[in-house]
Homo-oligomer: A and B are copies of this chain.
């Protein structure tokens, strides 16, 4: 009986797994050097956990399940609710700021498309307990520290940055009522994803006052922070949020990440819970979806029964990133390699080869041998196929406790006493 894999999931054969590990190990290494500690939660949580944060899009895309006790559960579509739950559980004992990262496997029950699968990995970085915009800058730097390390330059990618706080103040100044803001964010977030006329029609439906509507359109066409004053009056609140955004760009310059970053008032982020700086990372060349995005969400922990505490963070998925890296020829997983391949000239030495192989493995060396008692030439071919650095040949010399060591790169052979061979060896790491 042949059964296919489920659409939108991936089989990771060893060559695919090498790429997945290369990406995830890079995320982890960069997170650690940026001072973040790793955490993780369960693959499933109570369904209602994911209904607390608005973002209707996410709730619609949940894989839900019921356990034997009739409890409604769901596979996690994001890890932020779990993070909020975990931090709230230990809020008083955790030293602040909390700098945590995670690489959760996530699930969305949507139609698979290019760069969007039903099962994927996402790099998450969060700083909780620090309201300074320096924390926002640090998370953006951390994302770029990785993206730069794998070889993506400011010619390849851009971080588009704005401020939800500033946008809110601007819209208030224009005269948008407080209870209309949330719906309006969702409309404005669609701007770059829709044809201009359709977007403008949606906006007109959301903001019925024509003069307000025009002001918003003018605002959305701004290219530089300095232009804001020409469209909207710089109230104290507007000015404060503009200053914060300007300071973020200064800090990114100090950090050496400024070349990747631009202001883009069109970055709104769909989710309702963002409260400050917001950003999305895009490739410059092609038509891919966002590589990742994030921002400040100072009220989220409170939504999950915790205290009011500032927080900022981002998520970068593996699917779009892998497509971009593939396009640029930047995927460079560690090649599979053996330290030793132990060959034997005839069946009589096979047991000795097995013994030596296991001894080398226990000492930490990647070692293999051939199951089949074939000719030496065939074993050497196998060693070469498995990319062995050295081949140990067990033959007549073994009666005198000697081994032949062949360097597979140079072809050079040397004869060495078994005892000396082990005495000379250093730790493989």
Write out the residue numbers on chain B whose beta carbons fall within 8 Å of the beta carbon of A75: 43, 65
Q: Which of A46-54, A171-179, A259-267, A289-297 contacts B (4 or more CB under 8 A)?
A: A46-54
A104 → chain B closest CB, angstroms: 11
Main secondary structure of the interface of A (DSSP, over half): mixed
Is A256 within 8 A of B355, CB to CB?
Answer: yes
Is A3 within 8 A of B304, CB to CB?
Answer: yes
Is A371 within 8 A of B41, CB to CB?
Answer: no
Of B17, B85, B89, B90, which one neighbours A40 at CB under 8 angstroms? B17
Q: Which of A158-166, A324-332, A362-370 contacts B (4 or more CB under 8 A)?
A: A362-370
- What size tier do the contact residues of chain A reach? 35 or more
Taking A3-B48, A354-B134, A358-B256 as contacts, is the C-beta distance between A367 and B11 under 8 angstroms?
no
User: Which positions 238-290 of chain A face chain B at CB distance < 8 Å?
Assistant: 251, 254-257
Does A344 belong to the interface (CB within 8 Å)?
no
Is A43 within 8 A of B256, CB to CB?
Answer: no
Does A141 belong to the interface (CB within 8 Å)?
yes
A389 → chain B closest CB, angstroms: 13
Taking A64-B65, A88-B2, A254-B351 as contacts, is the C-beta distance between A132 and B303 under 8 angstroms?
no
Does A123 belong to the interface (CB within 8 Å)?
no
Does A195 belong to the interface (CB within 8 Å)?
no
User: B-contacting residues of A (Cβ < 8 Å)?
Assistant: 1-6, 9-14, 17-18, 20-21, 30, 32-35, 37-46, 48-49, 52, 63-65, 67-68, 71, 73, 75, 82, 85-86, 88-90, 95, 97, 100, 105, 107, 109, 119, 130, 132, 134-135, 141, 145, 148-149, 251, 254-257, 303-305, 336, 338, 351, 354-355, 358-359, 361-362, 364-368, 371, 385-386
